[in-house]
Amino acid sequence: MEQIDIIIRFFGGLKTFYSDSISLQLAKGISVNEVIDKLLELNSEAQEVLDISQLAIDSTIVPKDFIITEKCELIVLPPFSGG
């Protein structure tokens, strides 16, 4: 199965569970939900925050059933706290 590089960047409290970013080689056609499952395999303690996080590619929020077909930077956005 063809593999693609996905860089995953973390912000806010999620950096407590992961580093600033990680790079994973995953199957082409993987869903965002399946990427989240991979992240939980790396650190299950992040589940509570991941459950309420949004995901973005190219500054646009993507739904969790979004299919990733090419290499990309996936941004994990925990609840915001600006202002």
b/e burial code for range 22-53 (CB count within 10 A of at least 16 → b): eebebeeebebebbbeebeeeeeebeebbeeb
Q: How far is the CB of 12 from other proteins (least distance, A)?
A: 4
Determine whether 76 is exposed, middle or buried from the number of CB atoms within 10 Å of its CB (0-12, 13-18, 19+): buried
Q: How far is the CB of 7 from other proteins (least distance, A)?
A: 13
Measured from the CB atom, is 29 or 63 closer to other proteins?
63
Q: Would strands 30-31 and 67-68 be described as parallel, antiparallel, or unpaired? A: antiparallel
Measured from the CB atom, is 3 or 45 closer to other proteins?
45
Q: How far is the CB of 26 from other proteins (least distance, A)?
A: 21
Measured from the CB atom, is 22 or 56 closer to other proteins?
56
Site for other proteins, rule CB under 8 A: 9, 11-13, 16, 52, 56, 59-60, 75, 77-83
